Structure 1
Amino acid sequence: MRQYELVERVRSYDPDADEDLLNRAYVFAMKAHGAQLRASGDPYFHHPVEVAGILTSLRLDSATIATALLHDTVEDTGATLEEIRRLFGATIAKLVDGVTKLNKLEIQSAHTAQAENFRKLLLAMSEDIRVLLVKLADRLHNMRTLHFIKKVEKRRRIAAETMEIYAPLAERIGMDSMKAELEDLAFAELFPDARESIVHRLHQLRRDDTKLIERIVAELHDTLAGAGIEAQISGREKTPISIWRKMERKNISFEQLADIMAFRVEVDSVQNCYAALGVIHGRYQMLPGRFKDFISTPKPNGYRSLHTTIIGPDRRKIEVQIRTAEMHSVAELGVAAHWAYKQNSHVTEGKRYRWIRELLDILEHAAEPEEFLENTKLEMYQDQVFCFSPKGDLIALPRGATPIDFAYAVHSEVGDHCVGAKVDGRMVQLRTQLSNGDQVDIITSKNAAPSAEWERFAVTGKARARIRRHVRTRQRGDFVEQGRDLLQRQARAENVQLSEKQLEKVLEGLHQRSVEDLLAAVGEGTLGPRTVLDTVFPELKRPQPPSDPLRTLPARRGKPEPLIESGETPILGLPAGVAFQYAGCCHPVPGDPIVGVVRTGRAVTIHRAGCANLERLQDEDGRSLDVGWNSRKAAPRAVARLGLMTLNRPGALGNISTLIGKLEGNIVDVRFLRRAHDHLEMLLDVEVADLEQLHRIKAGLRATSVVASVERIAG
């Protein structure tokens, strides 16, 4: 697209567009990118121009179009943010900075990088949602040219990220057409055979009856016209990925699908939406349970429409969507359809988006980037149920949500102090799943606190993040007390007095920020009490142990030796060649805080710190070793035990095993505990390389539609 063509596009919908700004941004970006080339061999400058072109189709303001032209200059050229600010102003500099920040993290783990980038994206778009609009257009053009990238792994990673993050974000701000194209492009890369098969079936349908859609449109038009309702009607086949998902969800074949065609009816008023619905239901038989009114209860992204499925012309099952032209504009363009920016205004409509505030709340309470990514996927993926407070306020929740999720959706404090719930005036368990139209009354108590058990049935990311935070805080308090007790016992055994002032003096040497952090580390098992005491009282330090420390362990129990820093063994604290095994009672994996236990005639057993059996083993003449993982030498793969609550439906176990296999885990044992009509409880023993891989598997399982809850089991 040439410079004048871009300017004319913007002027076609905004006669007052800042032409000078657009021209300067175009020329600056073209000079900055110079002779750079993309993977396709095209000049790199084609990319920002195409991104700008995508945004003109959304009728966005001049500042956003200029940002699109400049969005890669700071990252990929010699241009600086200060230069952008000086030439184009503070607003555009802030927008460019928001887009640039997403790609500047250098993190070892690719998964963590994705999670951190998503955190950055959320923070940037919470200030100005135009950052998200530019990023979505950037991703859309990258997906359109994805086939030029030679490395299959890189293409699949980009496609998976698009499917998991950017398409749901596009849906969340109501940009249905962009979401559909992003999903279809990612689907083509990730599952080419499945997509090709569905496209082939659709082509066969069109070939068998070339005039089918036109015939149905004509009959619907005549039916409405006969009732005096003027309407614009159009029909289309559903996208390949939506067909594939329905086949997966219902476990049916293509031939068994009922409604692979959707028809849109546009009328001139809300009143005529309901009038048209009445005419269609009067003429054709509707399918029970398939009617949805998103006009009276819009989706969180502002989507409004009436949906119904009928046995229509030619006795075919079809979906009909009834809306006004304004509703259709919002459905296609979402936030961009009604976005109004005022010059020099720092207050954006983005801050009124409740879901952004909820994701920011998850960001505040998540401990790790992976946990944040896992919880936000939960927020974005699931279908909605609409419930009401006693005052009549509407709360939208994911399908499968419970009163706990409702309580946290009302307010974090309400969730933290929840003790019970009434649904439609009747007391229910907190694990009860809510249905559309339920009126939920939360009962609270000032002395109540979240229970770790709640995480098993909470489904919203916000609720899970708050519950985990409270559990971590409570565990930290326990670790602090346990660490204080361990240090005092060690001090009494050495006949010395230990004070907090003495501990404050050694914080830097032990890499701790506060005395409380030090005590928690001792209680958790990541720092040995003997190590602390030796640092406070250097005169107590023992001589370096001989080559075989297992024969000369101290006679007193519970006094660990210093770690042996050897690059030859995967466990620090054990010399090379000493046999060790993972404990079957607590299932440690590389990355867990660990303790070694030595018993006569047996290999050293590696336990998770805090394992309930440690005290008993020490009472049976076992001796503890202060051990850790050697990051320079890979430890053997270990088995972690997971407790799953899954939906009792065909294919559930296959979905779970496939996901674990894709994440390079290995299922070594399965035990079924309880089976109900709709749920199944099981234990999975999964072999993993380290704690990070285990976190990925847990996150993947939690984001799977057939898994209701997943937790790591200690025993």
Structure 2
Amino acid sequence: MTAILPELAPDLSAVLDKHADRLDLDLIDRALRFSASAHRGQKRMSGEDFVSHSIAVALILAEQLLDSATISAALLHDVVEDSDVRTEDIAREFGAEIAGIVDGLTKISSLTFRSSAEEQVENYRKLLLSIAKDARVIIIKLGDRLHNMRTLEHLPPERRHRIAMETREIYAPLAHRFGMAGIKAELEDLAFKFLEPDDYRDLVSQVASKRAAREQTILKLRTPLEHELKRAGIEWFEVTGRPKHLWSIFQKMRKRNKSFDEIYDLMAIRVTVRSVPECYHVLGVIHHNWTPIQERIKDYIASPKSNAYQSLHTTIFGPGGQLFEVQIRTQEMHRTAEFGIAAHWLYKRDGKPDELDQHLGWFRQLLELQQDTHSPEEFLEFLKVDLYQDEIFIFTPQGDVKRLPKGSTPIDFAFHVHTEVGLRCQGAKINGRIAPLHRELKSGDTVEILTSASAKPSRDWLSHVRTARARHKIKQWINHEEEKVSITLGKEILAREVRRRRLDAPDDTRLARAAQALSLADGQGLEIAVGRGDVAIGQVIRALYPDLPNDELQEPKPTVFGRVIDRIRLGRGIKIQGVDGLMVRYAQCCQPVPGDSVVGYVTQGRGISIHRSDCPNLLTLSAEERRVEIDWQESQGESFSVRLAVTGEDRRGLYADMMEAISQTGTNIRAADIRTRDGTVFGTVFVEVDNLPHLAKVLKAVRRVKGVSEIERREAPPT
């Protein structure tokens, strides 16, 4: 049979021919023929034949030097989703390996942002499980997304924006975590093009106008550097300018609030050599001839990043005092940096399981965490947090290196070492000195965790952690503690109600039957639901004693105990879409008080969470259908905790004067943590207020105190 590759896909055929000695061209040709037949008559939004997309994805992967099975699966990746072909047909024609990859891609082909967080998250879960079975699934998915982004202009504006945002938030970080720097950079630039089109066009123009001058500046260092490397006896090396992609330039401009000219003065050069000893030899030559900035020297060869990236980094003062960033790496390191996990399949015949494990270590931890998430919001939080970009390297007292995301604190470090260390953490030493648990760690810090058998996590820790693992374990512990309280409370409520009605105490069998009738897991789940207020006690009694006459099942008049329980469980004065008496929780992230503009969010199993309308956490709770309108009327005798942040100039008696000012407003002070450093006072004060005017009165009183420069409500970071 005549090969159709040269005729139907000449560009792909040309790339494959260069590597014909290691590829099964007959298999790839058969896959193209099968795909073209399955997609016959189908068109893309651009008007091109649909099979052109499959060919473009295969070309991207061929350029990444992937194996025959991956390129064939790329050609077939849409046939099950978009034609009458079944996975069984693929297995019969091409074998189980390719069918398994295509099956994984088919399951996740509808991966998009939706109004339903539940459906969205299930698609992400399928993506993770597909990658766990065969990591080539994510390589093809990233190639698929890259070509879709390259042709995004053919879609309607609303779809363009949604796909570009998903690319920036999920796929570009995934490419980074799997070490695929080339694809990551292009995905980020394409998302930038469609999400901030005006800024993108301006930056493209500015970069183009500076290209010639930039190349001349790089030449001023490259020429003498090449001369010095030859003098040092290094036989083979390559010195090139290292282009920075547009999105990273724009991020720096925005983060530092600087113009393009101020940011773009940092030149970047890469030196590639053949061996690791030569990398260090080059570093020595560079530092001997040009002055380095000490704090900018980084050795990622000795301590690779979690995505297996390796290089030496240094920043030097080059000719004319110009700053140059220099990367030094071997050819193999360069291939790994550009292709990431895809590089594993370049020489698949040699087999490099350890190298693949390096790429997948973080991923296995993510899979482990996602198994314990029970709500869509929780899962999305873990997914996005764990796709962090920048890493720092922290040392244990024994000299072991731990990788953590930038911005991590000793609490993150403690949970990274071991869950029990985190749960029993009561303090930390950073570089031999006692430091607060919320202190941000820096690369190179040595951290020692101080533990105690009586120590336990605090809800406030959630404001200071950066890793998904620490956040998950803290929340898990808090939920477990709240569950114990709910069980005790539920048993007490149930026992009192049964005694009041003079009924026989229910045994385990009766509790289990009632739980099943109320769609709860078991008898303990029933007690928890009663304690939390998820189910009315009248409903529970009906389920426990279905044979009782109706007149004995009427809701009882509230007892003193019942009124106390109501105050614990129910939001007094709160009507939700006209209904009152529902179980509510006041969000600790924004600490609403009566008078604030508020929104309710329906949680799973914990009633309705009340947030301020401007709460940052509402941005992460994306399911619009779970938001409800709140009518909050102030109730007599109810008070609310608010965290206030205060700063000022240190002076004798300032602390006492602030506390006195708060007390004079008739306000209870729950706690205060005020510290001084370099003549500045800073800290937090926890107060109990009745409503928004009461809070405003407290703020006004403290601002009048001599030495106080500012006091305001303190928001917890989004969780």
Same topology, TM > 0.5: yes
Identity %: 39
Give the structure 2 partner of residue 122 of structure 1: 128
The within-5 A match list for 1:602-617 is: none
Identify the residue that residue 190 of structure 1 maps to in structure 2.
195
> How has the CA–CA distance of structure 1 residues 248 and 411 changed in structure 2, closer, same or farther, with 3 Å as cutoff?
same
Does the 8 Å contact 1:481/1:523 carry over to 2?
yes
Please state how far the C-alpha of 1:226 moved relative to its aligned partner.
4.4
C-alpha distance in structure 1 between counterparts of 2:97 and 2:124, whole Å = 22
Aligned to 1:584: 594
CA contact (8 A) 1:594 1:607 kept: no
Q: 1:326 to 1:583 in 2, by over 3 A?
A: closer
Contact 1:367 1:469 in 2 (8 A): no
Structure 2 counterpart SS, 1:710 = coil
1:142 offset after TM fit, Å?
Answer: 0.7
Distance 1:247 1:675, change over 3 A: farther
SS at match of 1:387: strand
Q: Secondary structure at the match of 2:502?
A: coil
Pair 1:112–1:161, CA change in 2 (3 A): farther
Contact 2:66 2:346 survives alignment (8 Å): no
**Aligned match of 1:180 in 148, 162, 185?**
185
Q: CA deviation at 1:172?
A: 1.4
Residue in structure 1 matching 2:417, options 410, 415, 427: 410
**What CA deviation, in whole Å up to 9, does each residue of 1:694-713 have, x standing for no partner?**
xxxxxxxxxxxxx995369x
| C-alpha displacement of 1:13 | 2.5
Are 2:67 and 2:345, in contact at CA under 8 Å, matched by a contact in 1? no
> Residue in 2 aligned with 1:224?
229
Which residues in structure 2 correspond to 1:511-530 (within 5 Å)?
A: 511-530=519-538
CA distance in 1, matches of 2:82, 2:111: 14
- The answer on 1:636 being equivalent to 2:636 is no
Q: Which amino acid aligns with 2:183?
A: M
What SS class does the counterpart of residue 27 from structure 2 fall into? helix
Residue 532 (str. 1) matches residue 540 (str. 2):
yes
Is this contact kept in 2: 1:402–1:434, CA < 8 A?
A: yes
Aligned counterparts of 1:632 and 1:179: Cα–Cα separation in 2: 33
Structure 2 CA distance for aligned equivalents of residues 417 and 90 of structure 1: 48
CA spacing shift, 1:519–1:267, aligned 2, 3 Å: same
2:514 is matched with which residue?
506
Match of 1:376 among 380, 383, 394: 383
Give yes or no for the alignment of 1:292 onto 2:298.
Answer: yes
Which is further off, 43-52 or 14-23? 14-23
Out of 306, 313, 317, the residue aligned to residue 307 of structure 1 is: 313
> Any conservation in 1 of the 2:65–2:346 contact (CA below 8 Å)?
no
CA distance in 1, matches of 2:92, 2:366: 33
Shift of 1:366: 2.5
In 1, the alpha carbon distance for the partners of 2:627 and 2:137 equals 41
**Which residue matches 1:703?**
none
Q: Give the deviation of 1:49 after TM superposition.
A: 1.1
- Are positions 1:148 and 2:159 aligned together? no
Q: Please state whether the residue corresponding to 2:717 is helix, strand or coil.
A: strand
Greater mean deviation of Cα atoms: 195-204 or 96-105: 96-105
Query: Quick one: which amino acid aligns to residue 100 of structure 2?
Result: K
Partner of 1:338: 344
Distance 1:681 1:193 in 2: 42
Residue 695 (structure 1) aligns with? none
Kindly report the root-mean-square deviation, in angstroms, between the aligned alpha carbons of the 2 structures: 4.1
What SS class does the counterpart of residue 385 from structure 1 fall into? strand
C-alpha contact (below 8 Å) 1:232/1:266 kept by paired residues: yes
CA-to-aligned-CA distance 1:54-95 (integer Å, 9 cap, x gap): 000111111111111111111111111122222221111211
Could you tell me which residue of structure 1 aligns to residue 139 of structure 2? 133
Q: Which residue of 2 aligns with 1:244?
A: 250
Q: What does 1:542-553 align with in structure 2 at a 5 Å threshold?
A: none
Q: Is the 8 A contact 2:114 2:120 kept in 1?
A: no
2:367 matched residue in structure 1: 360
Residues 260 and 439 from structure 1, CA distance in 2 versus in 1: closer, same or farther, beyond 3 angstroms?
closer
**What SS class does the counterpart of residue 323 from structure 1 fall into?**
strand
Mapped to 1, the partners of 2:544 and 2:122 lie a distance apart of 38
Q: Secondary structure, in 3 states, of the residue corresponding to 2:18?
A: helix
1:396 counterpart SS class? strand
Classify 1:108/1:196 alpha carbon distance in 2 versus 1 (closer, same or farther; 3 Å).
Answer: closer
Matches within 5 A, 1:641-680: none
In the superposition, relative to structure 1, how do residues 513 and 203 fare at CA in structure 2: closer, same or farther (>3 Å)?
Answer: same
Q: Secondary structure at the match of 2:295?
A: coil
**Structure 2 portions without partners, runs of 5+:** 567-574, 583-591, 611-623, 633-639, 648-671, 687-713
1:171 lines up with 2:180 in the alignment: no
Compute the displacement of 1:255 (Å). Answer: 2.9
| Partner deviation per Cα, 1:400-447 (whole Å, 9 max, x = no partner) | 222322232233344344455444455544334333223334455677
CA distance 1:350–1:322, change in 2 (3 Å)? closer
For residue 444 of structure 2, give the secondary structure of its aligned residue in structure 1: coil
Confirm or deny: 8 A CA contact 1:219 1:313 kept in the other structure: no
Distance 1:295 1:514, change over 3 A: same
Unaligned runs of 5+ in 1: 546-551, 561-567, 576-581, 597-605, 609-630, 649-671, 684-706
Aligned mates of 1:420, 1:266 — CA distance in 2: 45
For the 8 Å contact 1:431–1:457, the answer to whether it is kept is yes
The farther-off stretch of 110-119 and 314-323 is: 110-119
Aligned to 2:115: 109
Is 1:400–1:434's contact at 8 Å kept on the other side of the alignment?
A: yes
> How has the CA–CA distance of structure 1 residues 258 and 138 changed in structure 2, closer, same or farther, with 3 Å as cutoff?
closer
8 A contact 2:142–2:175 mirrored in 1: yes
- Structure 1 residue 490, shift from structure 2 partner: 2.1
The structure-2 alpha-carbon separation of the partners of 1:675 and 1:635, relative to structure 1 and needing over 3 Å to count, comes to farther
8 Å CA contact 2:410, 2:439 repeated in 1:
yes
Q: Which amino acid aligns with 1:529?
A: I
Among residues 89, 95, 111, which one is paired with 1:89 in the alignment?
A: 95
Give secondary structure in 2 for the equivalent of 1:103: coil
Counterparts of 1:232 and 1:268, CA distance in 2:
10
The change in CA–CA distance for 1:108 and 1:354 in structure 2 (over 3 A counts) is: closer
Normalising by structure 2, report the TM-score: 0.75
CA contact (8 A) 2:54 2:75 kept: yes
Q: What amino acid is the match of 2:602?
A: G
Secondary structure, in 3 states, of the residue corresponding to 2:516? coil
Could you say which residue in structure 1 is the equivalent of 2:588? Answer: none
- Does the C-alpha gap of structure 1 residues 166 and 236 become closer, same or farther in structure 2, counting only changes over 3 Å? same
2:34 is matched with which residue: 22, 28, 31?
Answer: 28
Give the conservation status (yes or no) of the 8 Å contact 1:361–1:462.
no
For residues 591 and 134 of structure 1, what CA distance do their matches in structure 2 show? 37
Which of 263, 267, 286 is residue 261 of structure 1 equivalent to?
267
Q: 1:708 to 1:162 in 2, by over 3 A?
A: farther
Letter in 2 for 1:514: D
The residue that corresponds to 2:437 in the other structure is 430
Give the alignment partner of residue 66 of structure 2, picking from 60, 67, 74.
60
Instruction: Tell me how far apart the structure 2 counterparts of residues 379 and 574 of structure 1 sit (CA, whole Å).
Output: 39
Distance 1:544 1:583 in 2: 37
TM-score (norm 1): 0.76
CA apart distance, 1:207: 5.8
How far apart, CA to CA, are the structure 2 residues paired with 1:377 and 1:646? 28
